[in-house]
A and B are shown apart, each in its own frame.
Chain A
Amino acid sequence: MIALPRYTELVKNLTIKEFKLRYRNSFLGFVWSLLNPLAMMAILTLVFSTLLRAGIENFPVFLLPALLVWRFFSIGTSMALWSIIGNASLVTKVYFPRWLLVLSSNLANLVGSTLEFLALLPLLLALGMKVSWLVMLLPVVLAIEFVLIVGASLSLGALNVYYRDVNQVWDIALQAGFFLCPIIYSASLIPSRYAFLYSLNPITRIIESVRRIFYHGALPTAWDLLIPLLSGLILLAIGYAVFLKLEPRFAEEI
């Protein structure tokens, strides 16, 4: 990964390519990336605030930032899962470090998620989010989450070349993750005997961080940032090792 500066232009072009392909042939293009979380917000607010009366004050502002960081992770990893196979024509025809494909897919998703946040910020303001300088911390939280995403994506992208059902397994894992992370409920509801285990989930900590920033107007705790950062670095090390081990036979297995 040390050689990255040599490949900046290639990574840039691959990222632009990924981003373009994501919205090519679609009539509304990027607008879908805003409509999707907005529709989810409307449905979940209807179910939890109106029908179930879960009693969470200002549910849309409670939900939306959590939903956006969840989308960042889930879309990022499930797109990167296909980053090697989806580029079979390149992988079987010309040599370059293959992990650049994973990174570019993740970067395209980073651009997408950043735009989602920027575009929906005015809505959050209108809905009554807590306005403070703490919003400046959002890039830090997203950067930490990005490390997690790249780490997971390296393993997923490489393994999916050899075992195509990694995709199915990850699909289930993400569905489980949506309910195991405090997206539609508050982490304070977790019984105390599970609380420690629950709080080790790095995505839980990321969600808690953005919820503190946008909903409570409070500073994320040190652990809220350290746990995801450490898990991210561990995942990155594992992912890179797995990737290097599997990379030599990509062109044969693809």
Chain B
Amino acid sequence: MEVVHVDDLWKKFKIPHERRTTILENIAGALQMLAGKTFTYEELWALKEVSFSVAKGESLGVIGENGSGKSTLLKILAKILRPDKGKVDTNGRIAPILELGVGFHPDLTAKENILVYGTIMGLKNSELKKRMDSILQFAGLERFRDAKLKNLSSGMQMRLGFSVAIETDPDIFLIDEALAVGDFEFQKKCLSKFKEFKNEGKTIILVSHALNLVKEFCEKTLLLSRGEVISFGETEAVVNGYLKRVQAA
């Protein structure tokens, strides 16, 4: 059974040469346009003609150089960005863990943030209160339950993000480089947790530059470059192909 299916996905970002964000700038721009001035912007296709699918219980690695579209792809899967063209089907509850944190508020305490994030993920308050201790325990933050998030280190915030996401029991994990922030011990703890999840038939999509991690963890890998799929298939072959490309360049 496929849990993620992406078909001919395109995503465009507009990069204006003159950025207009205020009403006045827009009015001025419109007047200049009437006077015959043309405004130019660059179209950046962050993703072009991307197609792939992930089966239930499978793990997918996404690799490629900076700016190749990996994070954009993850954000589209998480429904944070909308594609310009193409179809994205996902089946099951998605927990995105994107660049540092899951969307915590700095002025709320760890506990308050867990409640807000947990209900976004579709859990009831009563369930969350039951799981509160185990969330804090997994993150190793029992003592910081009532500390404001801004007073926690970035590693601690990331650990809390992981713990909440794990404890909300999603079907699909989207992970963007986030593991790199945690200390060695926490990384180990997370990896064994994710292996457990894999055995339970959950799906993990991992964006990473740590090729060893991808090799260890993902059966399949997607290699992106400048928004296009270079190769998609068995991890070993795709990673080796990537290394060859890098050395040739």
Contact = CB atoms under 8 A, between A and B. Distances in A.
Interface of A: 9-10, 12-14, 17, 20-21, 24-25, 87, 89-96, 162-166, 169, 248-249, 251-252
A173 B84 CA distance: 36
16 contacts: A12-B125, A13-B116, A17-B116, A21-B105, A89-B101, A89-B103, A89-B105, A94-B78, A94-B80, A94-B102, A94-B120, A95-B79, A95-B80, A163-B23, A249-B82, A251-B81
Contacts of B96: 93-95
Contacts of B94: 95
A252 B13 contact: yes
B108 A21 contact: yes
Question: Do most interface residues of chain A lie in helix, strand or loop, or is the interface mixed?
Answer: helix
Given A9-B125, A14-B116, A92 B104 contact: no
A3 to B, nearest CB: 12
Main secondary structure of the interface of B (DSSP, over half): loop
Given A10-B119, A94-B120, A252-B13, 9 more contacts: A13-B125, A17-B105, A17-B108, A90-B103, A93-B103, A163-B26, A164-B22, A251-B80, A251-B81
B115 interface: yes
A167 B81 CA distance: 25
A90 B119 CA distance: 13
Contacts of A17: 105, 108, 112, 116
Nearest to A159: B23
Among B13, B78, B105, residue most surrounded by chain A Cβ atoms (within 10 Å): B105
A163 B119 CA distance: 30
A93 B98 contact: yes
B119 A9 contact: yes
A139 B79 CA distance: 39
B107 interface: yes
B193 interface: no
Contacts of A165: 22-24
Contacts of A87: 105
A164 to B, nearest CB: 6
B21 A164 contact: yes
Contacts of B125: 9, 12-13
